[in-house]
Amino acid sequence: MQKKIQSALISVFYKDGLAPIAQQLHRLGITIYSTGGTQTFLENLQIPCVPVESLTTYPSILGGRVKTLHPAVFGGILGRRYEAQDLAEMAQYQIPEIDLVIVDLYPFEETLKTTKEEKLIIEKIDIGGPSMIRAAAKNYRDVVVVAAKNHFGLLEQLLATQNGETSIEQRNDFAAKAFEVVMNYDIAISNYFNPSNTTQQTSSQKQILRYGENPHQQAAFYGNLNEVFTQLNGKELSYNNLVDVDAAIQLISEFTLDASVFGIIKHTNVCGVAAAESVHTAWIKALAGDPESAFGGVLVTNGEVDKTTAEAINEIFFEVLIAPAFNSDALEVLKSKKNRILLQLVGEKATSTQQSKSLLNGVLTQATDEGNFTEWKEVGGRTTSDAEKEDLIFANLVCKHLKSNAIALVKNKQLIGKGCGQTSRIDSLRQAIEKANQFDFSLAGAVLASDAFFPFNDCVQIAHSAGIEAFIQPGGSIRDKDSIEYCVTNQLAMVITGLRHFKH
């Protein structure tokens, strides 16, 4: 169904790209209604327009908050040309038909990027704009709606080639685009008022990725990575890179700046992590924990990377290195590989407080796993030494970032063995002990952390046989006493935290 545009309402914040459209409308003899800065812009182009105030009989009031919210405007947009009653009422109240609505929205997201002043932000919440856009899109059978400047080109082409006529399919397409514009605008405002909401992101924050987890899967990231880090070198981040970068940042965020910490992530699991007196030493210890798994990993530290550390890291192949700072000599070394991704952290809190996952026919959300323990309950045959306590706290934090079932073996704040992703806890323990033995670590004096309770005392027995004498676990099993009694009998230390750290 072809329809010819006879009249247009134009009210836009961004004027760039508007002039050729206005000139086409004028050439076609289309009546133009406008207001405020847009009216002035058109008049400066020597294009006649009718002030919206002549329809509403009201001036712009309340500091510009109310300009177009009037039946004379919305009746002209929403009136159904195929309904005799609508046409009769429009004639009765002298409401002109409006066939084209060109309206964009106040720059809310752009304002958020430039100020934190609430008054300025609130005033950029558009009311009339979304209302007119939705009205025009709803009445797409009769009305063309253009809701953003990046749609100007298509309208200009249609005006030039179709002499102001549009098809129902074209109007439907413009309406679909318009509803998406308003949806994204509302999401941005909703997220401002609900900052913990991560289940909704605007398409303006959409970044198309090369592919997903595998090459045959399409993928995109919704969000603003510039708020998290600055990329100093390397290729575009992939889906898998981003997943591991998130895991790395979550890990390093657990540690204070009291010591230098270096972590190595592979497939979201920690394969190496250590704390030491310097970033360089922390790197050496982290790598030693599992040098095989570190190949192709994502590296992260909480301190500045210097040249000595960069030269040591440069000896292995890795995908990504994340740090709060790099000195110039270090960057020169690390940039020797053009595809190597270097990320400098910029924000204090780089990860969300909410997590979401698409599941079945919906979305599952939860708060992130914050904290290390809710209690420190010594229940073994002896209390922990100061050194053991430090290692147990460290091990429990590391275990939190391993896939369940998870076991972490730590000695002198160095991960020396880990088991993760196994279907039984005892298999994870065996894997952890095997890893430690593989790289010639003595388990004498090491501590063990478990992400969940021990259902039986077999894990404690096996670990004790390997040389471990201190344990930390959340407790909560109906058979906790079995593991506790074994520790009491054998003078082993055990701490109950009261906080489970499942990770699936």
The DSSP bridge pattern shows strands 100-103 and 7-11 to be parallel
**Which range among 45-59, 146-160, 323-337 shows the weakest confidence by mean pLDDT?**
45-59
Q: What is the mean pLDDT of residues 198-209?
A: 69
464 counts as catalytic: no
Instruction: Indicate whether 1 pLDDT > 90.
Output: no
The whole-number pLDDT of residue 56 equals 77
Closest CA to 262 of 415, 411, 373: 415
The whole-number pLDDT of residue 436 equals 96
Closest CA to 67 of 46, 89, 38, 42: 38
Which of 27-41, 112-126, 286-300, 351-365 ranks highest by mean pLDDT?
286-300
Rounded to whole angstroms, the Cα distance separating 417 from 398 reads 11
Query: Residue 197, SS3?
Result: coil
- Whether this prediction's pTM lies above 0.85 is answered by no
What are the tens digits of pLDDT across the range 324-380? 999 999 999 999 999 999 999 987 656 677 888 888 988 888 888 888 888 999 999
Three-state SS annotation for 425-486: HHHHHHHHHHHHHHCCCCCCCCEEEECCCCCCCHHHHHHHHHCCCEEEECCCCCCHHHHHHH
Phi (first) and psi of residue 125, to 5 degrees: -85, 105
What are the tens digits of pLDDT across the range 253-288? 999 878 999 999 999 999 999 999 999 999 999 999
The whole-number pLDDT of residue 457 equals 93
What are the tens digits of pLDDT across the range 162-199? 988 999 999 999 999 999 999 988 988 988 888 766 55
Instruction: Indicate whether 78 pLDDT > 90.
Output: yes
The whole-number pLDDT of residue 6 equals 92
Rounded to whole angstroms, the Cα distance separating 250 from 326 reads 20
**Which range among 115-119, 230-234, 315-319, 496-500 shows the weakest confidence by mean pLDDT?**
115-119
Phi (first) and psi of residue 269, to 5 degrees: -95, 150
What are the tens digits of pLDDT across the range 238-254? 999 999 999 999 999 99
Query: Residue 144, SS3?
Result: strand
Distance of CA 283 to the CA centre of its chain: 28
Rounded to whole angstroms, the Cα distance separating 287 from 282 reads 9
Confidence of residue 54 (pLDDT cuts 50, 70, 90): confident
Strand partners, 471: 448, 494
What are the tens digits of pLDDT across the range 305-314? 999 999 999 9
Q: What is the mean pLDDT of the chain?
A: 91
The whole-number pLDDT of residue 127 equals 87
Q: What strands, in cross-sheet order, belong to the sheet with 144-146?
A: 50-51, 31-34, 7-11, 100-103, 144-146
Cβ atoms 293, 272 nearer than 8 A: yes
Q: CB within 8 A of 174, min separation 6: which ones?
A: 137, 140, 144, 145, 146, 147, 151, 154, 155
Catalytic residue, chosen from 26, 267, 335, 337, is 267
**Which range among 43-57, 85-99, 193-207, 439-453 shows the weakest confidence by mean pLDDT?**
193-207
In the chain, % of residues over pLDDT 70: 97
138 counts as catalytic: yes
Rounded to whole angstroms, the Cα distance separating 454 from 54 reads 78
Q: What is the mean pLDDT of residues 93-105?
A: 92
| Count of Cβ atoms closer than 10 Å to residue 45 Cβ | 15
Strand partners, 342: 233, 321
Q: What is the mean pLDDT of residues 76-87?
A: 91
Cβ atoms 409, 448 nearer than 8 A: yes
Catalytic residue, chosen from 138, 149, 335, 337, is 138
The whole-number pLDDT of residue 407 equals 96
Tokens of 434: 């095997």
The whole-number pLDDT of residue 203 equals 58
